[in-house]
Structure 1
Amino acid sequence: MRYVVAVAETGNFTRAAEQCFVVQSALSHQIKALERELGVELFARTSRKVEPTAAGLAFVDGARRTLAQADRTVADAAAAVGRIRGRLTLGIIPTVTGIDLPDALRRFRDAHPAVTVSLQVGGSDEIVADIRAGAVDVGLLGLPAGDVPEGVRSRVIARDRHVACVAVDHPLAGRRSIGLDRLAGETFVDFPADTPGRAQSDRAFDAAGLDRTVAYEVMALDIVAGLVRAGLSVALLPSAVAPSDDPGVSLVPVRGGPARAEHLAWSDFNPSPAATAFLSIVDASSPAGDSPAVIGRPAD
């Protein structure tokens, strides 16, 4: 099953063999033997291309679930005698500030060296969907203040308010604070539409009855800073991730601006031993328990 899944994921027998730490001939032989046993072809093969057949796609889907359950069974057995092993998959947004993630991972590795950790960076909505689907164990999310992720367990680990990011030679640079009405006529760079990161600013402008123009949509913060620095746009970012050290960018507090909350999220059904252990590590580093840390405060 692992060989078939590897070929389906890589689209190549040689790369699949490398991934599985076997020689290609052994992997190919085992897959052909499986096909004879099943009486179907799992892959359509040419000299240049390998693709799963309809039967192969059905087999791969079931094989992934079976392998995941097998890994979980082994992990549960080890946990029963106090040993945590297996895999921990973390879904994280690019702007995590609510916990010191490298420090948490270091302490987790020290306590549970047999666990393999996988990090997946994405949007909060994607991470929540992956947690519900069982593809991610624990997520670190950023949502508009007041929102709660659905279908998962979660708790708030930090709150923050947005600041305006403008070029140092922008007319608004250096102000003590500004209102959303002063920003409404600017050209913005923001996260893609229909993402939680974008919703934080969209809702603030909607609540104020204001329109704005978003000319650039990106996920990478360094690109956001570059566009602001070049004078092509302004941005609204949580204060904890705004480019405060960039000499070409000025940060200005915003009255009535957007706010976000960072959430720690996990499956509401039978979390893995590794997930439970990681949550314990995070809890141990948060003396205030479920009380959220306030990173940014509203401007006066």
Structure 2
Amino acid sequence: MEVRTLRYFLAVAEEESFTRAAARCHVAQPAISQQIRALERELGEALFERDSRTVRLTDAGRALLPHARAVSASVAAAKAEFAARSGLLTGTLELGAADGVESSSLPALLGTFHRLYPGVGVQLVEGSSAGLIPQVRQGSLDAVFVAVPPEGLGPGFEHRVLIRDEIVALVAAGRPQAQLASLSLDEFAASPLITYGPDSGLYTRLRTAFEAARVPFRPAYATNHVALQLELVAAGVGIALAAGAVRGITRDPRVTVVPVTPRIPYAKALMWRAGPHASAPLRALLDLPHPDQGA
């Protein structure tokens, strides 16, 4: 069992895709598939359930996951120690973060980074996806945490998914819609809609979903801060469509979280420029194993 093979296993487990895992590891997809099959033969069990659309861990894969992460963490720690000994890791890591970063694995990742590289300063710049992505392109930010648009991030960028979730409806607890098992998109045509502004990475995904359902997309209130969306819902302004992964929305008794039909999945990722542009601190961050989020 090789460290490289375990790194491929982790990439497939975290990306839920052999194609995305291959892009993340900078290898051809057949190489990833071959290594995973060899690992499955070595262990005597299938590690992934595969079909034409999804890749998910089996029970055996879930059993291997913490061991693979432990090995990856040990390798990263060894690299960190010798990088620190040679004085390579100095300077500042410049990161941009759109709304919702506190609900992602990035804070835990930065906690590990700080313990391994205490001499590197980290600057966090808040903003919207529309404002942050150009700063990566121009090189003023090393990487940014943003929503992945439906059409992808385009050429010239690489990314690592940190959240996979879906949009949910926030409904005032006393409203009839709060009793429903789910809300269809046409329900929002009869109620003021509270959701993200056009500068948010989730705005395009929402508009695309409404267009596919042939329902007019007319937000009455636009804010990228889910905490404010929640307060507007509690005040009786309307119904909100928000990221389901945001912490705290399920704990407010004034508001009920209701699933949306059809589902509107989304991903949020750490993205950076492809090629030889990554700074030493960014490369060190990307080498760290993905924090365990109960996968």
Given the alignment, which residue of 100, 125, 130 partners 2:135?
130
Q: What is the letter of the counterpart of residue 211 of structure 1?
A: P
Q: What is the letter of the counterpart of residue 284 of structure 2?
A: A
Q: Is the 8 A contact 1:128 1:149 kept in 2?
A: no
Write out aligned runs for 1:77-96 (5 A).
Answer: 81-96=86-101
Partner of 1:251: 257
Give TM-score scaled by structure 2 length: 0.65
**Larger Rg computed on CA atoms:** 1
Deviation for aligned residue 1:107: 1.3
Q: What is the letter of the counterpart of residue 129 of structure 2?
A: S
- Bigger drift between 137-146 and 114-123 goes to 137-146
- Any stretches of 5+ residues in structure 2 without a counterpart? 1-82
Partner of 2:168: 163
Deviations 1:187-222 (A, max 9, x none): 111211253221121111111111143111112221
Deviation for aligned residue 1:97: 6.2
Partner of 2:105: 100
* Mapped partners of 1:176, 1:258: distance in 2: 16
Partner of 2:284, secondary structure, is helix
- Any stretches of 5+ residues in structure 1 without a counterpart? 1-77, 288-292, 296-300
* Mapped partners of 2:155, 2:200: distance in 1: 15
Deviation for aligned residue 1:143: 2.6
Partner of 1:91, secondary structure, is strand
Deviations 1:214-269 (A, max 9, x none): 11111222111100111102111121117111111111111114221112211213
Deviations 1:49-82 (A, max 9, x none): xxxxxxxxxxxxxxxxxxxxxxxxxxxxx88935
Q: Rate the CA distance shift 1:263–1:217 in 2: closer, same or farther, 3 A.
A: same
* Mapped partners of 1:272, 1:210: distance in 2: 45
Partner of 2:176, secondary structure, is coil
Question: Stretches of 4+ moved more than 3 A in 1?
Answer: none
Q: Rate the CA distance shift 1:189–1:117 in 2: closer, same or farther, 3 A.
A: same
Q: What is the letter of the counterpart of residue 121 of structure 2?
A: T
* Mapped partners of 2:129, 2:193: distance in 1: 21
* Mapped partners of 1:105, 1:154: distance in 2: 16
Q: Rate the CA distance shift 1:234–1:144 in 2: closer, same or farther, 3 A.
A: farther
The number of aligned residues is 211
Q: What is the letter of the counterpart of residue 131 of structure 1?
A: V
Give TM-score scaled by structure 1 length: 0.64
- Bigger drift between 87-96 and 120-129 goes to 120-129
Partner of 1:273: 280
Partner of 1:5: none
RMSD over equivalenced CA pairs, Å? 2.4
Given the alignment, which residue of 189, 194, 206 partners 1:184?
189
2:145 matched to 1:140?
Answer: yes
2:142 matched to 1:121?
Answer: no
The percent of aligned pairs where both chains have the same amino acid is 30
Write out aligned runs for 1:166-245 (5 A).
Answer: 166-241=171-246, 243-245=249-251
* Mapped partners of 1:109, 1:154: distance in 2: 21
Deviations 1:132-187 (A, max 9, x none): 11111121111344533543211333321111111011120021112112222211
